[in-house]
């Protein structure tokens, strides 16, 4: 059962206020994923401590980088169940993990950060790892 919306709204806003687009249902996910050209980051958000302590602030820091994905979106695991299931369907070889981060280029998954690589990390370490991926896969793309 989802948490009350008033509880998770501040967690959603940590990403939306830095320009991350929220995908709340399957149609929104399909619309976002239909554009295959270029780079896209999908953040699978969650209420857990590692999402609060590392994932959301780490993503926000990484998005300050000169090279960044052209499009960035998020789904909220445990809240937007249909959207989360749909986005996971785009990465069928990756076990479900939340929080997690999926970077694609031209519709192909090029970098994935599962929960076990987020847990125990601080936001700056996670951001540095994302910046490295952005610099490699998003070079020439200015946010």
What is the set of active-site residues? 48, 50
Scan for tokens 């619309």, then name that residue: 31
Closest listed residue to residue 125, CA positions, set 58, 30, 50: 58
Helix (H) or strand (E) holding 100: strand 100-105
Which residues lie closer than 8 Å to 3 by C-beta, 6 or more apart? Answer: 47, 78, 79
Q: What are phi and psi for residue 58, nearest 5 degrees?
A: -65, -40
Cα 32 from Cα 117, distance rounded (Å): 25
């Amino acid at each position: 059962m989802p948490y009350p919306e008033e509880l998770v709204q501040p967690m959603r806003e940590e990403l939306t206020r830095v320009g991350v687009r929220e995908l709340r249902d399957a149609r929104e996910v399909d619309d976002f994923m239909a554009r295959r050209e270029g780079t896209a980051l999908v953040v699978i958000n969650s209420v857990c401590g590692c999402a609060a302590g590392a994932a959301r602030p780490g993503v926000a820091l990484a998005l300050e980088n000169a090279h960044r994905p052209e499009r960035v979106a998020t789904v909220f695991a445990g809240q937007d169940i249909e959207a989360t299931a749909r986005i996971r369907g785009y990465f069928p070889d990756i076990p479900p993990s939340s929080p997690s981060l999926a970077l694609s280029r031209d519709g192909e998954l090029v970098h994935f950060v599962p929960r076990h690589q987020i847990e125990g990390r601080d936001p700056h370490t996670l951001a540095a790892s994302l910046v490295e991926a952005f610099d490699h896969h998003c070079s020439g793309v200015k946010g």
